[in-house]
Amino acid sequence: MPIAIRDTRDGARFTVRVAPRASRTAITGVFANGPEATLRIALHAPPVEGRANAALVDFLSDVLGTPRSAIEIAGGQRARTKTILVRGRTAAEISALFEKILPTTRKVQS
């Protein structure tokens, strides 16, 4: 099931579901959420003083090959489900990058 990534006038948007305080930071799979899918990411950082959010931005920057300044948590600052905005990239570009990564990760259904 593909991740729901949408083009906006500001860039590409998608949702992630994070699990802070994990043993390591990694993409752990895809969460089927009705007709759409959400990327699941385990974060080593704790959800204290914005550390998990900073770790998420750093991780996505590395995975997507995008400057940290181009990635914004557009929604869900204090929630496990977050909306990510990637400026300067299209949904097709982000989708292609995730397609290269996701075949090796597990797909999780709700």
The answer to whether residue 94 sits within a structural domain is yes
Q: What is the mean pLDDT of residues 12-25?
A: 96
Among 57, 95, 89, 49, smallest CA distance to 73 is for 57
Q: What is the mean pLDDT of residues 18-36?
A: 89
Interval 98-109: pLDDT, tens: 888 875 544 444
Instruction: Report the CATH number at residue 38.
Output: 3.30.1200.10
User: Which residue matches tokens 């990058």?
Assistant: 97
The answer to whether residue 109 sits within a structural domain is no
Residue of 53 and 100 predicted with greater confidence: 53
Q: What is the pLDDT of residue 110?
A: 44
Number of domains in the chain: 1
The answer to whether residue 71 sits within a structural domain is yes
Among 85, 76, 97, 101, smallest CA distance to 20 is for 76
